[in-house]
Amino acid sequence: MDPAELEAMMQRHAAGDRDPDLLEALTRQAWSAFHDPWEHPGASPAAVPSLRIPLIDEDPCDPDAPEKLDVGTLDSFVRMHARSHLKRKSWPFFVTYEYLADPEPERCPRVLMESPDGRSLVCAFVRRLQCPDADLPEVHAFCQRWSDGQPRIVAKLVEAPGPEQGGAGVGSVLVLTLGVTLAEEHPTISLRDFDRMLHELLDAASVFWNQVRAAFEP
């Protein structure tokens, strides 16, 4: 094959061209370059590995049935059809709940639950703050004092863009975080322990926000 023609074929392959004829021609050129003349590649050149993941024959569900689009569904699909090709690298879970009991839903109250390592559970209460910029340093100091006095619950101020644009500090949120470390070998948590943890966080959030409202919010 003419060197210029071979170079053009290699450039096409490098650019992402996977035309079957191109792949076959490149495979035959590779064979001729690295094998003796008396060797034969057989009826067809070696197959190019495919990235398509074959389906498992024994599927526990109907492959055509529509499923709810969420993390659990995608994770189950990956385990069924791509367990040897894909390995989940994200955190075990990160879940957001809207807190419906808040009397001011416009503050976007949320309860976040996550497990960053699969051996701990972290719950956080997040709520939008409304105060002028001039008060933000005092809010930071208030959060530090609160955290120093609460060994299990940490408070912090986080700058975040909000839907309102009318005043400085409107986009800030306050976060209360409570975390527990579970058994390292078999991380489990009972419903009773989870209920205690959640109530501890929400009770602390009620006290915390009453103090914030009295000190900083009009």
Pairing label, strands 153-158, 120-128: unpaired
Q: What's the pLDDT tens digit per position in 12-44?
A: 766 666 666 766 676 666 555 544 444 454 544
Domain ranges of the chain: 1-48, 91-216
Q: In the chain, what percentage of residues exceed pLDDT 70?
A: 64
Strand partners, 112: 96, 124
Ordered alpha helix ranges (H), 40-100: 71-81
For residue 140, name the pLDDT band (cuts at 50, 70, 90).
very high
Q: Phi and psi at residue 141, in whole multiples of 5°?
A: -65, -40
pLDDT at 117: 77
Is the pLDDT higher at 65 or at 106? 106
Could you please state the CATH topology (level 3) that the domain comprising 91-216 is classified under: Yope Regulator; Chain: A, (3.30.1460)
Closest alpha carbon to 111 in 176, 188, 191: 176
E strand segments, 92-212: 93-98, 110-115, 120-128, 153-158, 173-181
pLDDT at 125: 94
Region 59-67: what's the mean pLDDT?
70
3-state secondary structure of 190: coil
| Length of the chain (residues) | 218
In the predicted model, what is the mean pLDDT of the chain? 75
The pair of structure tokens assigned to 86 is: 């894909």
pTM value?
0.58
Strand partners, 68: none
Does residue 52 carry a pLDDT above 60? Answer: no
Q: What is the maximum alpha-carbon separation in the chain?
A: 91
The pair of structure tokens assigned to 111 is: 């309860």
